[in-house]
Amino acid sequence: MKISTTEITIRGFHIDVFGHTNNARYLEFLEIARWEAMQELIDSGFFSKRNLGFVVVNININYKNPSFINNVLEIKTQIKSVGNKSSVVHQTVYDKHKKHIICQADVTFVLIDLKTRKAVQLDDELRNVLENI
């Protein structure tokens, strides 16, 4: 499965009163990286033509090290697994210059039918597309 890389520079508005990046900001960074990883496929209209949308149903995140203003983060994103209805994206956030892990997350999502708002069964076509993001 492909690995997508996204860079984000920590800015002042990402920092909390303790001088490091607020933990909730990582959820935003991870979401930005997931969208970038899937942008080409989204732009192609693959999901919109099928009336499908992504819904995050679970996030497990492990914080390892803090990050600070002006640090450059490198987020590696890849599909970890594809099930019958849900899939898991694994993401690792690195400090680009110090080369250590900031945090790791597994994000579980489903594809929903935008009309019924129900999770769809992943047929062979959808599984193949997701496995190759």
Q: Which residue in this structure is represented by tokens 């849900």?
A: 86
Query: How much of the chain exceeds pLDDT 70, in percent?
Result: 99
**What pLDDT, in 10s, does the model give residues 32-62?**
999 999 998 889 999 999 999 999 999 999 9
Active site residue 95: no
pLDDT value at residue 41: 87
* CB-neighbour burial class of residue 104 (10 A; exposed 0-12, middle 13-18, buried 19+): middle
Report all structural domains of the chain as residue ranges with CATH numbers, in order of start: 4-131 (3.10.129.10)
Three-state SS for 100?
coil
pLDDT value at residue 1: 66
- The two three-digit tokens of residue 44, written as one number: 């192609």
